[in-house]
Amino acid sequence: MEIILHLSGFRYQRNLSYMQFGYPNRVELHQVFERDPALLFRMKPGYDFKLGFGPLNQQGFRGKDFSNEKPAGVFRIACLGDSVTFGTAAAAYPELLEQILNGPGGKIFQVYNFGVPGYSSEQGKNLLRKVMRDYHPDLVIILYGWNDHWRARGFSDSEQKIKSEIWLTRIRDPVSKLRTYQLLNKFAANLPGLAPRSGQEKFRVPAGNYRKNLKEMVERANAEGAKVILLTAPAGFGLGPLPDYFEYLGFLKQGDSLEQIHNRYNLMVREVTQETGAPLLDLDLILRARNVKTYFDHPDQDIIHPNAAGMLLIARSLADSIGAAGRHPDEKEESQ
């Protein structure tokens, strides 16, 4: 039967399934990530991307191992975000920010990079609970947006489910390549009440949920004694045709205007800062005002992740927002 189905060219994939994303795909979910009941997926501690920045730390994040205990006199900053915060092989703005803040004559700053490629604000709000509980940051920097407005592969992030029988999922993924399995799946899908619905009209995090998630993060951090800075997501729009893989990988559907969608989500960040009183660092406008072309090396391939110069500009802009010349924020307030 398997041979006959192969020779006939039969293939069937259901449209609706849990734990499917443009990024990470199914292979990456097993290779780079491990499943997590609260976060859907998290990076594997010690995993090495082989890109030159070394293995992940023992907590599963970029940088040196994080300490739960905060030494006296240390001002701890937690940077939450997606792959823009995680950084590239060239640079990561949390690392640069720590270097700038700890310049000559400055007090001790710790900057922890909690950026995770593929994360949306839905995962960010759940990660923040753990960050506040375990690391007690004095300041939280939040930058989400890109993954929030990618198209969902059936289910939005808040609707995703991780079944406890993870071993069944690991068996299902290779088995699902069998044409016999696909044929049985097609029969099951056509049974009354079991036909899959398309999820292409959904975003991973719909606009209303995105706004709600940002507000919840600001309120949670403030309630636990931490200040928050919200960042808009920069983009390399206007530098040429968009990379052609966005639709191919299912990040967009045909007819989507990525620039309009992205601008809409950035506008909500600005509105949340007005509603909550949280400071805003408008990276989108900052990079555009300084010639955005300077900060994206290959816009035909990547308009999401700024280059090393862009990461440095982000770090410097944050340092200016936090305190001039590496000065401790509390010291600045006392001087006023």
Cβ neighbours for 131, distance < 8 A, ≥ 6 positions apart:
78, 80, 112, 114, 137, 140
Question: In terms of residue numbers, what domain contains 200?
Answer: 2-335
> Residue-wise pLDDT tens for the chain (336 aa)?
889 878 888 876 655 678 889 899 888 998 999 999 999 999 999 999 999 899 999 999 999 999 999 999 999 999 999 999 999 999 999 999 999 999 876 679 999 999 999 999 999 999 999 999 999 999 999 999 999 999 998 899 999 988 654 555 566 667 777 888 778 777 765 665 444 444 557 999 999 999 999 999 999 999 999 999 999 999 999 998 888 889 888 899 988 999 999 999 999 999 999 999 999 999 999 999 999 999 999 999 999 999 999 999 999 999 999 973 334 445 444 433
Cis peptide before 24 (omega within 30 of 0): yes
Kindly list the distances between the CA atom of residue 320 and the CA atoms of 37, 217, 225, 241, in Å, as whole numbers in the listed order. Answer: 38, 23, 21, 34
Identity of residue 65: D
The per-residue pLDDT for 333 is 42
pLDDT score for 332: 43
* CATH code (residue 146): 3.40.50.1110
* DSSP single-letter state for residue 102: T
Domain count along the chain: 1
**217 Cβ neighbours under 8 A, 6+ residues apart:** 80, 121, 124, 125, 128, 140, 142, 228
Q: Report residue 30: phi and psi, to 5°.
A: -90, -35
| Residue 284 structure tokens | 């989108």
Euclidean distance between CA atoms 329 and 138, whole angstroms: 10
* Per-residue model confidence (pLDDT) at position 80: 98
**How far, in Å, CA of 125 to CA of 45, rounded?**
21
Q: Output the CA torsion 247→249→253→256 (10° steps).
A: -50
What is the reported pLDDT for 152?
93
280: tokens are 């805003």
Please give the helix or strand (H or E) that residue 273 lies within, else none: helix 258-276
Beta strand 33-36 pairing with 40-43: antiparallel
CA 78 to CA 304: how far, in whole Å?
Answer: 21
Sheet bearing 75-81, strands edge to edge: 109-115, 75-81, 139-143, 227-231, 280-281
> For residue 67, with 0-12 CB atoms within 10 Å meaning exposed, 13-18 middle and 19 or more buried, which class applies?
middle
Q: What is the Cα gyration radius of the chain?
A: 22
